[in-house]
């Protein structure tokens, strides 16, 4: 039996086919095994440190068992509220401009290029921008607001991109109907497009905020301090943040501090999981209502 | 009465229409103002891009005027702060950056590509529904967590098998970075593979090839520009990755490509200096901006290449 058309002179047999499928499975399995190993190790090392006082106490440089995350959690809360307040209006505004006002204009092309470029800039370079611009040129010093502004710029491309995708899911026929009824461009956007796109925009915004919570490198650069006993009491206060505290504990040679780092990671990962869960729930609810 | 029923039927439109002028000069001004505000939001991304370039150039210009590009890019000694004789050759930082990035890519490219092929060509829908979110979860792990894992678990585990592996080393930082980047490569490559027209798959099957042959000879080659874009983006991410190398690579600025040795990447140097006091305008302050400028140029080049490649993929998919 000879096949009329042969793709190769030496055909791989059934064995090669099967081996390749297994290889592909391995490609997915290895990184996920690493993830499982990582989660297990972190939980095993850190879970015994979790307690209410661990979440509320100030850190300690001498006694690991008395050290807590209090100021770090407060710092992260401040950062996140400020970052969201700064980044969300600007990011969503930019997305509305690109999708509803300037489709296919020359400026839009330039803006798109800038956004694509910004999305690829390493986070530490945003830290350098924050250090040169906010901390020194604008003389804000190493304050919560300087950190929040830096993180806001960092997540801006993510918010813009996801908000644009959400706006794009709104059907053009709805826009045409609104404009045909005599609505102005803004009335159409405000009353027809935005309400429909809102769940999608929120999902993207939540995921962007989650990204900001875990960022460490830019905060090290803009001067989040490693050791502080109190949470911030204003936008111009010194501060630390959850990932900063984990970093400091990880750098400490004493075993007990490493366990604190693991417990801190558990808190961080749980927070991120809950946030991502909310985002996914929002997306699913929205999709099922739509279809 | 009629007014009230209208409000009840369409509450959102009814209420908002009251405070948004629709006709006349006021309305036109209001619309202009809103559009200007939105355009202003849009302009932020250009302002930030320019801001990065200006700040990096401004803060490192004294350094480059003093040291010169020749020494910066030509020397293999980096002792900017310690000792009597200061030397400003960036190669020790560059060699560690390149070594960790190469190790990371050696892990992430094959695993990511295989995972992408598995997800798009082999996995049953139910398996896909588990693996895709799991990979997303991996992508969402903050890099500080990988750093912790590398120093507490991966390095000790590797030391059992590799004699002479130092406590902080480029190998385990690079491997960890590779695991971190797998989801990025997998997800972008899968998009590229998914975009290959079904007709090509059918043609390959019609010629009597098995799935393996179709993947090897038809699907992967036609998705190539997208896969290359994913790889370039992964390389850019590896070069810019910070916390893993800052924690696990040893923080010793020495020139060399031996992965068992400690080293300090460009990003880890910035973190190391930033942890201490760096007065504005000091030599240490200038060096981190010079190193960041180099980092920015390197990642920018890769991002531009990646952007071009993925645009080519999209153009090919439309054709």
DSSP helix/strand/coil, A153: helix
> Using CB atoms and an 8 Å cut-off, which of residues 39-78 of chain B contact chain A?
39-46, 48-49, 51-52, 55-56, 58-59
Range of the domain at B20: 2-58
Helix (H) or strand (E) segment spanning residue A129: helix A123-130
**What is the average pLDDT score of chain B?**
86
- Determine contact: B140 vs chain A, CB below 8 A: yes
Do A132 and B55 contact (CB within 8 A), yes or no? yes
State the average pLDDT over residues A70-89: 95
Q: Torsions phi, psi of B79, nearest 5?
A: -130, 70
A151 vs B141: CA distance, rounded Å: 17
Residues B95 and B48 in one domain: no
Q: Does B301 touch chain A (CB under 8 A)?
A: no
Task: Kindly report the nearest CA distance between residue A15 and chain B, in angstroms.
Answer: 11
Per-residue confidence (pLDDT) for residue A16, from 0 to 100: 80
Residues with Cβ within 8 Å of residue B319, at least 6 apart in sequence: none
Neighbours of B63 (CB within 10 A): 21
State whether residue A140 sits within 8 Å of chain B by CB: no
Sequence-ordered list of residues with C-beta below 8 angstroms from that of A272, at least 6 positions apart, any chain: A210, A213, A214, B140, B142
Distance of alpha carbon A226 from alpha carbon A217, whole angstroms: 13
Q: Mapping DSSP to helix (H, G, I), strand (E, B) and coil, where does residue B87 land?
A: strand
Q: Is residue B151 part of a domain?
A: yes
Mean pLDDT score across all residues of chain A: 88
Residue B280: closest CA among A86, A133, A108: A133
Residue in chain A closest to B10 (alpha carbons) equals A191
- Taking residues B308-318, what's their average pLDDT? 75
Of B17, B39, B58, the one marking the end of a domain is B58
Distance set, CA B268 to CA A153, A177, B245, B278, B282 (Å): 22, 55, 6, 15, 19
Q: How many domains does chain B have?
A: 2
Tell me how close the Cα of A69 comes to any Cα of chain B, in angstroms.
16
Same domain, B15 and B147: no
Give the minimum alpha-carbon distance from B64 to chain A in angstroms, rounded to a whole number.
17
* Residue A253: φ, ψ to 5°: -70, -20
Cross-chain CB nearest to B114 (options A26, A41, A246): A26
The answer as to whether B68 is a domain residue is no
Q: In chain B, which residues have their Cβ closer than 8 Å to the Cβ of A153?
A: 48
pLDDT of residue B2: 41
- Give the tens place of pLDDT for each residue, B150-171: 999 999 999 999 988 888 999 9
Q: Coil, helix or strand for B263?
A: strand
- The C-alpha atoms of residue A36 and residue B206 are separated, in whole angstroms, by 41
Residues B178, B286, single domain; the answer is: yes
Q: Are residues B113 and B43 in the same domain?
A: no
Q: Label residue B172 by pLDDT band (50, 70, 90).
A: very high
Instruction: For residue A170, give the DSSP letter.
Output: S
The string of pLDDT tens digits covering residues A219-246 is 999 987 777 887 888 888 889 999 999 9
Closest CA to B292 of A130, A42, A71: A130
**Partner-chain contact A221 B274, CB within 8 Å:** yes
* Residue B317: predicted pLDDT: 65
- Note whether B166 and B24 are same-domain residues: no
Q: Among B17, B42, B58, where does a domain finish?
A: B58
The angle formed by the CA atoms of residues B183, B186 and B188, to the nearest 5 degrees, is 105
For residue B206, CA distances in Å to A4, A12, B177, B209, B218 come to: 12, 17, 41, 7, 12
Domains recognised in chain A with CATH numbers: 74-240 (1.10.3720.10)
Please count the helices (runs of H) and the strands (runs of E) in chain A: 12, 0
Residues B198 and B91 in one domain: yes
Residue of A nearest to B286 (CA): A132
Q: Specify if B147 maps to a domain.
A: yes
- Chain B nearest C-alpha distance from A53 (Å): 23
First vs last C-alpha separation in chain A: 52
Of the candidates B134, B149, B292, the beta carbon closest to that of A125 is on: B292
- Check CB contact of A106 with chain B, cutoff 8 Å: no
Residue B231 falls within a domain, yes or no? yes
- Tell me whether residues A102 and B42 touch, CB distance under 8 A: yes
| Statement to judge: residues B43 and B142 lie in one domain | no
Cβ–Cβ contact B12 with A under 8 A: yes
Percent of chain B with pLDDT over 90: 50
Among B27-31, B261-265, B313-317, top mean pLDDT goes to: B261-265
Using an 8 Å CB-CB cutoff, list chain B residues near A131: 274
Has residue B77 been placed in a domain?
Answer: no
Report yes or no: B275 at the A interface, CB cutoff 8 Å: yes
Mutation for testing the B interface, residue in A18, A27, A98, A174 having most B CBs under 10 Å: A27
Please tell me whether residues B141 and B279 are part of one structural domain.
yes
């Amino acid at each position: 039996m000879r096949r009329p058309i042969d793709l190769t002179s030496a055909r791989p047999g059934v064995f090669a086919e099967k081996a390749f499928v297994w290889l592909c499975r391995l490609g997915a399995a290895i990184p996920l095994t690493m993830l499982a190993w990582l989660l297990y190790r972190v939980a095993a090392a850190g879970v015994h440190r979790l307690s209410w006082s661990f979440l509320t106490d100030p850190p300690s440089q001498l006694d690991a068992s008395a050290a807590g995350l209090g100021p770090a959690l407060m710092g992260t809360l401040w950062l996140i509220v400020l970052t969201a307040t700064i980044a969300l209006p600007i990011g969503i505004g930019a997305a509305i401009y690109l999708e509803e006002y300037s489709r296919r204009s020359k400026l839009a092309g330039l803006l798109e290029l800038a956004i694509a470029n910004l999305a690829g800039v390493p986070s530490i370079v945003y830290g350098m921008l924050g250090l040169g611009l906010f901390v020194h040129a604008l003389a804000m010093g190493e304050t919560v607001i300087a950190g929040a502004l830096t993180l806001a710029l960092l997540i801006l491309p993510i918010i813009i991109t996801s908000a644009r995708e959400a706006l794009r899911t709104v059907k053009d026929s709805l826009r045409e109907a609104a404009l045909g009824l005599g609505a102005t461009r803004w009335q159409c956007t405000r009353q027809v497009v935005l309400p429909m796109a809102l769940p999608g925009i929120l999902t993207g915004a939540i995921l962007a905020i989650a990204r900001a919570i875990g960022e460490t490198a830019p905060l090290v650069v803009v001067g989040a301090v490693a050791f502080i006993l109190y949470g911030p009491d204003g936008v111009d206060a010194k501060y630390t943040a959850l990932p900063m505290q984990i970093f400091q504990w990880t750098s400490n040679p004493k075993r007990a501090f490493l366990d604190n780092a693991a417990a801190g990671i558990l808190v961080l990962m749980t927070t991120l999981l809950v946030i991502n869960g909310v985002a996914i729930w929002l997306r699913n609810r929205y999709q099922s209502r739509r279809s | 009465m009629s007014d009230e029923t209208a409000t009840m039927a369409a509450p959102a439109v009814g209420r908002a229409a009251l405070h948004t002028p629709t006709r006349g000069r006021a309305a036109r001004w209001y619309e202009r103002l809103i559009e200007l505000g939105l355009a202003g939001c849009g302009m932020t991304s250009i302002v930030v891009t320019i801001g990065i370039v200006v700040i990096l150039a401004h803060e490192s210009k004294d350094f480059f005027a003093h040291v010169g590009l020749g020494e910066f890019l030509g020397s293999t000694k980096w002792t900017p702060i310690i000792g009597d004789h200061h030397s400003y050759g960036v190669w020790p930082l560059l060699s560690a950056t390149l070594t960790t990035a190469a190790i990371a890519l050696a892990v992430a490219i094959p695993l990511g590509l295989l995972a992408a092929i598995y997800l798009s060509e082999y996995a049953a829908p139910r398996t896909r529904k588990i693996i895709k979110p799991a990979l997303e979860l991996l992508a969402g792990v903050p890099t500080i967590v990988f750093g912790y894992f590398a120093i507490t678990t991966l390095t000790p585990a590797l030391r059992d098998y590799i004699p002479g592996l130092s406590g902080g080393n480029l190998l385990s930082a690079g491997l960890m970075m590779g695991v971190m980047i797998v989801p990025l490569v997998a997800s972008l490559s899968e998009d590229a593979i998914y975009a290959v027209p079904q007709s090509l798959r059918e043609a390959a099957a019609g010629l009597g090839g098995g799935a393996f042959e179709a993947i090897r000879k038809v699907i992967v080659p036609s998705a190539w520009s997208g896969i290359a874009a994913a790889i370039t983006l992964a390389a850019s991410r590896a070069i810019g990755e910070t916390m893993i190398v800052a924690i696990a690579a040893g923080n010793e600025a020495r020139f060399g490509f031996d992965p068992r040795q400690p080293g300090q990447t460009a990003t880890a140097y910035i973190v190391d200096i930033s942890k201490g006091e760096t007065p504005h305008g000091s030599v240490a302050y200038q060096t981190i901006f010079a190193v960041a400028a180099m980092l920015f140029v390197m990642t920018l080049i890769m991002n531009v290449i990646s952007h071009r490649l993925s645009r080519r993929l999209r153009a090919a998919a439309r054709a």
